[in-house]
Chains A and B, each alone.
Chain A
């Protein structure tokens, strides 16, 4: 895996998570109080920095084989979760991830909550909403960047890719002051899921003691093979979905009161 591939993989993965975090922060800032929302962002980023600073050196101490086994297994599980969601959405079994809808829901919840001052934070609700959004979405970003970077012995490049994605998405979000609904999040999730699963398979199996035929070139087979599997599953599930009759809006139950 060269530097370019490492950068692209981390950048795309981080873009997806950054879009989700930006939607939450925008809702907190728009509905409540920008100052408290941005304080929440700063606190979330600081907590993430502490976690990364603690985990980064710890990862470099673990022997490479053990690291690849653990990290490969986790990336594979993450990747399959992402592919699973993307396939369910693309086949119509699950609603598409709609940032505008999520933004509207978060906005309504934020507007309904009562204001509460705690210490230097004038609006505790806006603070915690932003803090949680940044920390939870950022944790996945940090994990992906650290694991890809440590496996390729280039944590700085992975960190640059992750920070670039966050800066680009945050700048776009705050420029338009609206959810980034035009970012093809479902497609990105699909691509990133395949990449995570392929790299997870490669590193996990290597960590478990096997050697890939063709070494790194095996990735050039794994990625299209997983993509083909996922696309085939979309086609099959979409056909099933279209063939199945729609559920009645009001299911009729025997003995019901109305």
Chain B
């Protein structure tokens, strides 16, 4: 059980990293891109805008945590 937990923790740390909000935000942005690409509205801007929003928020959170 301990090794399974350690295995899970390793992959969480490897993929998600220090801030889960970034990973969740990127998934949401890609899902929104997919949804928007089904319509006639251009969707290429969604992910760059998400990066522009997520990065400052994540940094603020990191600074606040210290």
A residues sitting closer than 8 Å to B (CB atoms) are 69, 72-74, 76-78, 80-81, 83-85, 87-88, 93, 139-140, 197, 201, 204-205, 207-213, 218, 222, 225-226, 229-230, 233, 237, 240
Contacts and interface: CB of A to CB of B under 8 A. Distances in A.
Contacts of A229: 51-52, 55
B37 A208 contact: yes
A201 B47 contact: yes
A210 B43 contact: yes
Contacts of B54: 80
Contacts of A69: 30
**Which residue, of A74, A83, A84, has the highest number of chain B Cβ atoms within 10 A?**
A84
Contacts of A84: 18-19, 22, 55, 58-59, 62
A209 B22 contact: no
Contact of A208 (B17, B18, B43, B62): B43
Contacts of A240: 63
A124 to B, nearest CB: 18
A208 B59 contact: no
A229 B51 CA distance: 9
Contacts of A205: 30, 33, 43-44, 46-47
Give the interface size bracket for B toward A.
20 to 34
Main secondary structure of the interface of B (DSSP, over half): helix
Contacts of A218: 44
Contact of B55 (A73, A80, A93): A80
Given A76-B51, A205-B47, A210-B42, A87 B36 contact: no
Contacts of B44: 205, 210-213, 218
B22 A81 contact: yes
Interface string B30-48: 1101101110001110111
A197 B22 CA distance: 12
Given A74-B15, A77-B17, A209 B59 contact: no
B11 to A, nearest CB: 10
Contacts of B42: 210, 213
Contact of A197 (B33, B43, B51, B62): B51
Contacts of B46: 205, 210
Contacts of B48: 201, 222, 225
B22 A77 contact: yes
B27 interface: yes
